[in-house]
């Protein structure tokens, strides 16, 4: 059964002085989920935004699904604040959570959809015990911290493995990919099994944001038609 392909523009590569304007352009181009990268300068070597910025964006974009990707240490401390600010989905890194099951239930208890993320060096097997309770699994196809990096091909095997496990165990989590998704890689990630496509540089990096989103989504949907 083919899954619906969705584009999740990552505003990490947008103009931060006009985030809502750039985000709206990407949504007008067909993006249906807004991907928000939260970095703390510890778990990853970069710092981005926190709950106040999410709350401001929420006022400008009231009906949009906010997918908050937490690249932070001790995420449990801030999950309530992100939920309060307007997050709909919150994902935490397997590598950052000592008590991953607890963190995922904490997200759910605040009315958000829980997701789990794995870095390129983390195997899919590390998620075996939480696949039943997550709404989405995010496969990092670059090492997290920066936009515009090169796609790591081995991540395709991980998406395919997750799709296989999902089928075998009759689960329903969605498969998301983040990092280096562009015109060159989008067909491969869709064929490997990804349905939620995060794209930063390919959407916001250059040219017309709306057109970039539209073309990327078109390429993804064409590839999904040839997926087995």
Which residues are near ligand DX5 by CB under 6 A? 10, 12-13, 35, 37, 69, 142, 144-145, 147-149, 178-181, 198-202
13 binds, among ligand DX5, Zn ion, none (CB under 5 to 8 A by kind): ligand DX5
Residue 221 to residues 5, 6, 103, 195: CA-CA distances in angstroms?
7, 9, 33, 10
The site partner of 9 among ligand DX5, Zn ion, none (C-beta below 5 to 8 Å per kind) is none
Through-space distance between the first and last CA atoms of the chain, rounded to whole angstroms: 9
**Alpha carbons 43 and 58: distance in angstroms, whole number:** 25
The nearer residue to Zn ion, 47 or 109, going by C-beta atoms, is: 47
CB 24 within 8 A of CB 61: yes
Q: Which residues contact 36 (CB under 8 A, 6 or more apart)?
A: 10, 11, 49, 54, 57, 66, 67, 68, 69, 87
Nearer to Zn ion, 146 or 227 (CB): 146
Binding part of the chain for Zn ion, among 14-22, 67-75, 102-110, 153-161 by CB under 5 A, reads 67-75
28 catalytic residue (yes or no): no
69 binds Zn ion (CB under 5 A): yes
Q: Determine which one of 22, 67, 178, 188 is catalytic.
A: 178
Asked if residue 178 binds Zn ion (CB under 5 A), the reply is yes
Minimum distance from residue 147 beta carbon to ligand DX5 (Å): 4
- By CB under 5 A, residue 67 contacts Zn ion: no
- Decide which of ligand DX5, Zn ion, none touches 212; Cβ closer than 5 to 8 Å per partner kind: none
Q: Decide if 178 is catalytic.
A: yes
Coil/strand/helix, residue 116: strand
CB atoms within 10 A of CB 218: 13
Per-residue contact string for residues 97-136; x = within reach of Zn ion by CB under 5 A: ----------------------------------------
- Tell me the closest approach of the beta carbon of residue 69 to Zn ion, in angstroms: 4
Q: What is the dihedral of CA 133, 134, 137, 138, to 10 degrees?
A: -140
Strands 174-178 and 136-140: parallel
List active site positions: 37, 178
């Amino acid at each position: 059964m083919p899954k619906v392909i969705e584009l999740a523009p990552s505003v990490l590569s947008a103009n931060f002085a006009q985030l809502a304007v750039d985000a709206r352009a990407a949504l007008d181009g067909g993006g249906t989920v807004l991907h928000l990268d939260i970095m703390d300068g510890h778990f990853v070597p970069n710092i981005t935004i926190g709950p106040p910025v999410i709350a401001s964006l929420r006022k400008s974009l009231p009906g949009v699904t906010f997918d908050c990707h937490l690249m932070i240490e001790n995420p449990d401390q801030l999950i309530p604040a992100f939920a309060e600010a307007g997050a709909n989905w919150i994902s935490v890194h397997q590598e950052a959570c000592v008590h991953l099951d607890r963190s995922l239930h904490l997200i759910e208890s605040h009315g958000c959809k829980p997701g789990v993320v794995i870095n390129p060096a983390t195997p899919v097997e590390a998620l075996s015990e939480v696949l039943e309770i997550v709404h989405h699994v995010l496969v990092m196809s670059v090492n997290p911290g920066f936009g515009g990096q090169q796609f790591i091909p081995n991540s395709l095997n991980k998406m395919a493995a997750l799709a296989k496990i999902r089928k075998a165990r009759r689960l329903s989590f969605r498969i998301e990919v983040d990092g280096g998704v562009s015109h060159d890689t989008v067909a491969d990630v869709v064929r490997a099994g990804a349905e939620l496509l995060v794209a930063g540089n390919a959407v916001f990096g250059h040219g017309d944001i709306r057109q970039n989103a539209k073309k990327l989504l078109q390429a993804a949907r064409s590839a999904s038609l040839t997926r087995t």
